[in-house]
């Protein structure tokens, strides 16, 4: 069959899709990945065939110019934006909050993020005739194109399913509203494009005919009633080289410090002070490996004797040698570390990071401290707990086993073939 992946130009979102795209290719299926023209190099670096569609649009630059979003260029707002913050704060789940939230997030995020690709992607889909369209949750051009060409389509998550959970809450409230007061900004926007291309709106354009979910049950957030199809998370960080020193066993407990690449890729700084953290760990009998982007290294006046600072190391290789990992609590970082059964300290700030970190801490494999409450003292105490209290290692190993029990991308292919036949 023909499978079309669709991603907005966000590298971390695409990387979460790559192992499944590889698995489908290895099984003999034709695979294409559609994205904005400037994103084609990121796609081809993953060894996949890119389909440049539409025009380039830098959403982060647009957000930085929005006077209602001050400070975006240096630090995004805390946690989830409305309406998706209902997943983090259930008490906000009122009709007014959700309706206004959908209208606002559509205006400054979904619409400008998707418009550059919609028409051209739909044209390509009608030409290439995919059997299945796999789209990440922000790439609404995917379900629009799938509906226009009659393909089956699925969301592939790179986060907790805060999108599906929010939508379920909204629909519950909408069902109880009078007929004249059921405003649905997201459905109305999608319906306009569906009709323009020969169809009409269906709820699966928001949440997919089914959802490919890489988060294990013990830490997942899901909406009741949606069809979630589990798959094991496999790390893919793009082209990389494993340095020679990483092949040597550490002589002391190794602690990794990584804050991800998404924010620095968009000229937004880290949400914690790396210098303070390194200084706080300087007197511990550990080896610290800090992967710090070149743009952030200027803030390090000195490097403690027990620390190694590098711009990048493949986390899959680094985590396997670690006794603890300290991070921003991002999706790929958390699941890569979890796959090796390593205890974690999550220091989240934006999007679903705070919620993800709390779920991880509740499972028992991690400690969580929001970035604005992080200090050298709190991190030092957390590292000692992770290294000295056996419960963290035990729960981290339980999480590793839970991940390992999920079907691999290769094992999922046959299931996707069945679901495609059923839904297209």
**pLDDT score recorded for residue 74:** 43
**Cβ pair 87, 48 in contact under 8 A:** no
Q: Which domains does the chain have, with CATH numbers?
A: 2-233+406-423 (3.40.50.2000), 244-404 (3.40.50.2000)
- DSSP string of 250-296, one letter each residue: PSS-EEEEE--SHHHHTT---SS-HHHHHHHTTTSSSEEEEE--GGG
Let me know if 300 is exposed, middle or buried by CB neighbors in 10 A (0-12, 13-18, 19+). middle
- The token pair that represents 315 in the structure block: 């986390």
Closest CA to 114 of 76, 145, 81: 145
**Cβ pair 101, 162 in contact under 8 A:** no
**pLDDT score recorded for residue 86:** 96
**pLDDT score recorded for residue 299:** 67
Q: Is 217 helix (H, G, I), strand (E, B) or coil?
A: helix
What mean pLDDT comes out for the span 111-124? 95
Per residue in 258-287, pLDDT (tens digit) is 986 655 444 445 777 888 899 999 999 999
Contacting residues for 19 by C-beta, under 8 A, at least 6 apart: 234, 236, 409
d(CA 16, CA 318): 19
pTM over 0.85: yes
**pLDDT score recorded for residue 348:** 93
**pLDDT score recorded for residue 350:** 86
Per residue in 214-231, pLDDT (tens digit) is 999 999 999 989 999 999
**Cβ pair 399, 343 in contact under 8 A:** no
**pLDDT score recorded for residue 61:** 65
Indicate the pLDDT class of residue 293, thresholds 50, 70 and 90. Answer: confident
**pLDDT score recorded for residue 179:** 86
Residue 51 pLDDT > 50: yes
């Amino acid at each position: 069959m023909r499978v079309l992946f669709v991603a907005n130009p966000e590298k971390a979102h695409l990387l979460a899709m790559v192992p499944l795209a590889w698995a489908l290719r290895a099984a003999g299926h034709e695979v294409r990945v559609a994205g904005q023209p400037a994103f084609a190099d990121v796609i081809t670096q993953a060894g996949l065939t890119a389909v440049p569609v539409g025009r380039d649009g830098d959403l982060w630059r647009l957000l930085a110019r929005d006077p209602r979003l001050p400070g975006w260029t240096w630090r995004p707002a805390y946690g989830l934006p409305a309406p998706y913050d209902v997943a983090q704060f259930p008490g906000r789940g009122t009709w007014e909050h959700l309706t206004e939230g959908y209208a606002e997030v559509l205006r400054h995020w979904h619409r400008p993020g998707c418009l550059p690709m919609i028409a051209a992607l739909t044209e390509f889909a009608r030409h290439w005739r995919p059997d299945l369209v796999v789209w990440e949750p922000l790439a609404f051009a995917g379900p629009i194109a799938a509906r226009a060409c009659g393909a089956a389509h699925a969301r592939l998550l790179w986060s907790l399913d805060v999108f599906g959970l929010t939508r379920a809450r909204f629909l519950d409230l909408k069902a109880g509203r009078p007929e004249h007061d059921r405003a649905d900004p997201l459905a109305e926007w999608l319906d306009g494009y569906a009709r323009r291309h020969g169809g009409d709106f269906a709820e699966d354009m928001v949440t997919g005919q089914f959802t490919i979910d890489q988060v294990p049950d013990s830490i997942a957030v899901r909406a009741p009633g949606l069809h979630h199809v589990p798959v094991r998370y496999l790390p893919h960080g793009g082209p990389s080289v494993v340095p020679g020193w990483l092949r040597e066993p550490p002589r002391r407990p190794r602690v990794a410090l990584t804050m991800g690449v998404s924010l620095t890729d968009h000229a937004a700084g880290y949400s914690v002070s790396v210098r303070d953290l390194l200084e706080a760990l300087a007197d511990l009998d550990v080896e610290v490996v800090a992967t710090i982007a070149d743009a952030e290294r200027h803030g390090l006046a000195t490097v403690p004797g027990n620390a190694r600072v590098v711009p990048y190391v493949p986390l899959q290789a680094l985590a396997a040698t670690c006794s603890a990992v300290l991070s921003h609590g991002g999706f790929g970082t958390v699941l890569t570390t979890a796959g090796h059964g390593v205890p974690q300290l999550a220091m989240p700030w934006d999007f679903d990071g705070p919620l993800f970190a709390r779920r991880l801490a509740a499972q028992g494999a991690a400690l969580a401290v929001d970035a604005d409450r992080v200090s050298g003292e709190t991190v030092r105490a957390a590292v000692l707990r992770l290294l000295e209290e056996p419960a963290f290692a035990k729960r981290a190993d339980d999480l590793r086993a839970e991940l390992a029990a999920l079907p691999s991308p290769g094992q999922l292919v046959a299931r996707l073939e069945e679901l495609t036949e059923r839904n297209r």
